[in-house]
Amino acid sequence: MPKIVIAIDGYSSCGKSTTAKAVAARMGYGYIDTGAMYRAVSLFFTQERIALSNHKEVVAALDRIHITFNHNPRTGKNETCLNGLNVEGEIRTMYISNIVSEVSAIPEVRWAMVAQQQKMGRKRGVVMDGRDIGTKVFPDAEVKVFMTADTYIRAKRRQQELLEKGDMVNLDDIIKNIEKRDLIDTTRSESPLMQAPDAALLDTSHMTIEEQVDWVIEQADRRL
């Protein structure tokens, strides 16, 4: 059977990653969390104290950033590694969430990440989630989904996720973060977040993860 690319784009905290991961597992495909890559870049700049305003230093640093995904057989989970070190915990903090959209709006950062993502998916047979997969990374993806959901519902889900990791975060702070990220992501000059003309819209406000997964698999089945 031919292998296809499934591109899942959309607003922050709509359930893209959870859905994409489950779709990949059911189809026996690879899963690439492109948001994790921009988060890892943000972490690197923070660790190295590189100011985003220092464009020359930002661009020079990109050569020193190597991101990989490592499957941990003990937990059964994929871990994001920055220069060989597992940074899965560090990249999910509110601190990183608050700077990542500014980092990902820098054109040179995007060019570097897009090139790596295209390389990772070149053999196809992948589910990739992000903001520009169907428009920029894989404009020829066989399945394109654009996810949206009510902001309050997204924030509640995000709060629950953080709580499960032991992080108590105020709902208003999460709403502000989601709105800020959506605004930066949709208005940046380099590949802003938008629905590709050929992407199917999925509003997950009142859907369970299982329903979302079934919906995406149905889209994929039509292309196989």
Tell me which residues touch ligand C5P (CB under 6 A). 12, 34-35, 38-39, 100-101, 104, 130-132, 181, 185
Report the distance separating Cα 181 and Cα 179, nearest Å: 6
If the CB atoms of residues 27 and 103 are measured against ligand C5P, the closer one turns out to be 103
Query: Which residue, 12 or 116, is less far from ligand C5P as judged by CB?
Result: 12
- Residue 166 backbone class (left: φ over 0; alpha: ψ -120 to 50; beta: rest): left
C-beta of 194 vs 200, nearer to ligand C5P: 194
Query: Of 79, 70, 78, 65, nearest to 112 (Cα)?
Result: 65
Nearer to ligand C5P by Cβ, of 157 and 181: the residue is 181
Question: Cβ 101 to ligand C5P, closest distance in Å?
Answer: 4
> Least distance in Å: CB of 6 to ligand C5P?
14
CB 199, min distance to ligand C5P, A: 14
In the complex, what is the shortest distance from the CB of residue 219 to ligand C5P, in angstroms, rounded to a whole number? 19
Residue of minimal CB distance from ligand C5P?
Answer: 35
Q: How far is the CB of 1 from ligand C5P (least distance, A)?
A: 27
Euclidean distance between CA atoms 123 and 114, whole angstroms: 15
CB nearer to ligand C5P: pick between 73 and 77 = 77
185-216 exposure pattern, b = at least 16 Cβ within 10 A, e = fewer: beebeebebebbeebeebebeebeeeebbbbb
